[in-house]
Amino acid sequence: MWGEGYASAAGIYDAYRSWCSENGYKPKGRNGFYDDLERLSLLKLKKRISGRQAWCWSLSQLYIEKLRSD
């Protein structure tokens, strides 16, 4: 799920849903959430995780975006 410098799309969505639940927010659907990440121009790439291809997002870019929003 998590790798060096990236997170699987499924892993980051699950973390988002958990955050929403813990903070009283209704989470967006999976596709809407991914669309928002793409609108932020975050780097989306394919990585091999446990022998399988998976879509991933660059953690470094996610961290930069978080710092900009704080």
The greatest distance separating any two alpha carbons of the chain, rounded to the nearest whole angstrom, comes to 37
**Per-residue pLDDT tens for 2-35?**
445 677 788 888 888 998 999 999 999 999 988 8
**Per-residue confidence (pLDDT) for residue 60, from 0 to 100:** 64
- Exposure string of 15-47, with b = 16+ CB inside 10 Å and e = fewer, is ebeeeeeeeeeeeeeeeebbeebeeeebeeeee
pLDDT of residue 44 exceeding 60, the answer is: yes
pLDDT of residue 1 exceeding 90, the answer is: no
Q: Which helix (H) or strand (E) holds 56?
A: strand 52-58
Q: Do residues 42 and 65 make contact, with C-beta atoms less than 8 angstroms apart?
A: yes
pLDDT of residue 70 exceeding 60, the answer is: no
DSSP assignment string, 14-31 = HHHHHHHHHHT-PPPPHH
